């Protein structure tokens, strides 16, 4: 898609949240005639902006007018099963994601990161590496800032580091990063994929399907599904595969064996020198190091970055210590596997706050960990009854409350010096909050008030 072909085109953007508004503003600048449609209410400030710039606004439902367009752009929060999306596809109207539209206009080199867990940390770490190397870098995507918002600041020498979700890849036809990173694939968001893990995995793996000669895919050798799919792709294409492993030494990739981080045959540093804690972050660091290497960074820059990067907000973030109790904000843990990793990151007794909107979770893998590490479990939100049924019997003391405020106060009342109070919900935030960031900020605010 060339920018001149957008000019004068009729475009319907579905979803008026962050990504929808960002791509709407870009399309307006490009000369398109835009309708912004949302199934719910639209912020009055957005409506005012749209009216000022000639954008037709449709709130609280989608009418047939949404299909009077040359193509549709769907926000990540709009499922592919939504009626206007299905109707558009039936009519043969192109349906694109915000990522697809924005990436066609992005200058510079794109490094894209996907996976069920670790995306935000790995994306942020790669961005940190680029800044350490004094590269002109944009960090965007599912990490909180849509790519469309950054197009004006990009140059030919820009490194664009993107966190990419399955939802963004669902309607991405030509998206082609220079370096793609696949961290892992485990069940998540199955409610959006008709309960099908295979459909979810296929969406994730679209990240590399348009790559060709000279491109690189970094992948988790320890994840059987990822390894088999990527290595098959590499054998039938000219894309270079760079594997990473926490279990075996890889002479053609990165590994962490016997406490050493190695790139090919070179030792970078010890695992205990990494700036971010937890065994899962060893894998994230390996992936980031390979992506940085593929982008031309030196071992010295990689080493300095891996030592200096201390993590991201809402991911195993230590909020503060009060009366010997450590409060940890892991609001970004929106699935069972993320909680599993979090529980492995602490040796102290854990008072666990878990709950939100269930996404079809299977809690089985958590039960042994809850029994051994979590003497007190506090379930909250919409999924509290399910959590109590599945995990309550595994803890010595389990209770259910309605809100995060109540859960946090209950944790404080129960906690003793040496305990860790861990918010790691394993569920989405949409029952009580707009997003996981808002949930995490609320937790931090409560704790700061202690």
301-350 per-position pLDDT tens digit: 999 999 999 888 898 888 999 999 999 999 999 999 899 989 998 989 99
CA 228, CA 88: separation in Å to the nearest integer?
34
Nearest Cα to Cα of residue 231 among 252, 248, 261? 252
pLDDT tops 80 at residue 131: yes
Nearest Cα to Cα of residue 218 among 128, 143, 125, 311? 125
CA 177, CA 346: separation in Å to the nearest integer?
36
pLDDT tops 80 at residue 404: yes
Mean pLDDT of the chain, nearest integer: 94
Average of per-residue pLDDT across 198-205:
85
**pLDDT, tens digit (0-9, with 9 covering 90-100), for 3-49:** 557 899 999 999 999 999 999 999 999 999 999 999 999 999 999 99
pTM of the entire structure?
A: 0.81
pLDDT band at 189 (very low <50, low <70, confident <90, very high): low
- The residues, ordered by sequence, that sit 6+ positions from 209 with a Cβ below 8 Å of its Cβ are 233
pLDDT tops 80 at residue 2: no
Look at strands 71-74 and 95-97 and give their pairing.
parallel
Least confident interval from 182-191, 211-220, 280-289, 377-386: 182-191
Residue 200 has a pLDDT of 84
Residue 192 has a pLDDT of 67
Average of per-residue pLDDT across 250-273:
95
Q: Are the CB atoms for 148 and 19 separated by under 8 Å?
A: yes
- Give φ, ψ of 27 to 5 degrees: -65, -35
Residue 141 has a pLDDT of 94
pLDDT band at 1 (very low <50, low <70, confident <90, very high): very low
Which domains occur in the chain, in start order? 9-93 (3.40.50.720), 100-308 (3.40.1190.10), 317-448 (3.90.190.20)
Average of per-residue pLDDT across 354-377:
95
Least confident interval from 44-53, 238-247, 274-283: 274-283
């Amino acid at each position: 898609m060339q920018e001149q072909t957008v000019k004068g085109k009729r475009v319907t953007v579905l979803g008026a949240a962050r990504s929808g508004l960002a791509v709407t503003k870009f399309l307006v600048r490009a000369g398109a005639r835009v309708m912004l449609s949302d199934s719910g209410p639209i912020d009055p400030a957005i409506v005012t902006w749209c009216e000022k710039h000639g954008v037709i606004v449709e709130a609280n439902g989608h009418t047939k007018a949404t299909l009077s367009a040359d193509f549709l752009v769907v926000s990540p929060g709009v499922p592919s099963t939504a009626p206007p999306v299905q109707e558009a596809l039936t009519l043969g109207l192109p349906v694109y994601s915000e990522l697809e539209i924005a990436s066609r206009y992005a200058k510079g080199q794109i490094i894209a990161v996907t996976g069920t867990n670790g995306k935000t940390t790995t994306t942020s770490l790669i961005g940190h590496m680029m800044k350490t190397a004094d590269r002109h870098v944009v960090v965007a995507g599912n990490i909180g800032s849509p790519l469309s918002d950054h197009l004006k600041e990009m140059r030919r020498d820009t490194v664009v580091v993107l966190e990419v979700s399955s939802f963004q890849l669902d309607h991405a036809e030509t998206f082609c990063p220079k370096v793609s990173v696949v961290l892992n694939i485990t069940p998540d968001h199955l409610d959006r994929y008709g309960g099908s893990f295979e459909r979810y995995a296929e969406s994730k793996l679209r990240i590399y399907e348009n790559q060709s000669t000279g491109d690189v895919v970094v992948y988790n050798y320890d994840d059987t599904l990822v390894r088999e799919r990527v290595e098959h792709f590499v054998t039938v294409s000219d894309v270079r595969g760079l594997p990473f492993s926490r279990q075996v030494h890889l002479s053609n990739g990165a590994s962490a064996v016997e406490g050493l981080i190695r790139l090919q045959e070179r030792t970078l540093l010890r695992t205990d020198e990494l700036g971010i804690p937890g065994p899962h972050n060893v894998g994230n660091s390996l992936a980031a190091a390979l992506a940085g290497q593929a982008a031309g960074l030196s071992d010295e820059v990689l080493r300095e970055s891996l030592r200096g990067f201390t993590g991201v907000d809402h991911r195993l973030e230590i909020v503060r210590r009060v009366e010997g109790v450590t409060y940890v904000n892991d609001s970004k843990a929106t699935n069972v596997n993320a909680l599993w990793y979090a529980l492995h990151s602490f040796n102290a007794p854990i008072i666990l706050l878990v709950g939100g909107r269930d996404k079809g979770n299977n809690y089985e893998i958590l039960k042994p960990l809850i029994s051994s590490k979590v003497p007190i479990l506090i379930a909250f939100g919409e999924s509290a009854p399910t959590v109590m049924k599945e995990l309550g019997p595994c803890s010595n003391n389990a209770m259910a409350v309605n809100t995060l405020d109540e859960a946090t106060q209950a944790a404080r009342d129960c906690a003793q010096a040496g305990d860790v109070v861990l918010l790691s919900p394993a569920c989405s935030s949409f029952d009580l909050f707009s997003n996981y960031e808002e949930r995490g900020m609320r937790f931090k605010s409560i704790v700061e008030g202690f």
